[in-house]
Amino acid sequence: MDTMRRPATQADKAVTKMRVDVFVVGDNEGYVVAPSDSWLPLDEMRALGALRFGWTIDTGLAMPKLDWRAIGNDIDARGYSIVASTDVSGLLAIPQHNLPAIYPEQHRPMAA
């Protein structure tokens, strides 16, 4: 019996959605991504050098520029994933609505 493959749908391409914390390595040299509120292995993080908390993001809202499956596999294996500094745009969220721009000329000094 012949079976035909159905075309991939959005659901097939969907990535596991999770909330992750993004930590900045050194002077924006790279990023460590780990599940939100999880513990990072201290010895491995010391080897990376200075590490500070950056932000939290829901992967379902992230820009579609990173391979979140590979990041998820790294997290499953090690508890964290490392993302290159050149890929920071993939760690940012897609704007959910238009934000009004703030221009200095629109804000008059308030009288004291």
pLDDT digits (tens, 9 = 90+) for 3-53: 444 344 343 344 568 899 999 998 889 999 999 988 888 888 888 888 999
Q: DSSP class of residue 1?
A: -
pTM of the entire predicted model: 0.69
Whether the predicted pLDDT of 96 surpasses 80: no
- In this structure, of 5-9, 58-62, 96-100, the range with the lowest mean pLDDT score is 5-9
Nearest to 35 by CA among 63, 62, 72, 64: 72
Say which residues have a Cβ less than 8 Å from residue 59's Cβ, sequence separation at least 6: 15, 16, 17, 18, 19, 20, 68
Would you list the DSSP string of 50-87?
-EEEEEEEEGGGB-TTS-HHHHHHHHHHHS-EEEEGGG
pLDDT band at 63 (very low <50, low <70, confident <90, very high): confident
Per-residue pLDDT of 33-47, as tens digits, reads: 999 988 888 888 888
**Which amino acid does the sequence have at 17?**
K
CATH code for 16-85?
A: 3.10.510
Q: Is the dihedral of CA 55, 57, 62, 66 positive or negative?
A: positive
Query: Per-domain residue ranges for the chain?
Result: 16-85
**Percent of the chain with pLDDT strictly greater than 90:** 29
Query: Two tokens at 18?
Result: 């999770």
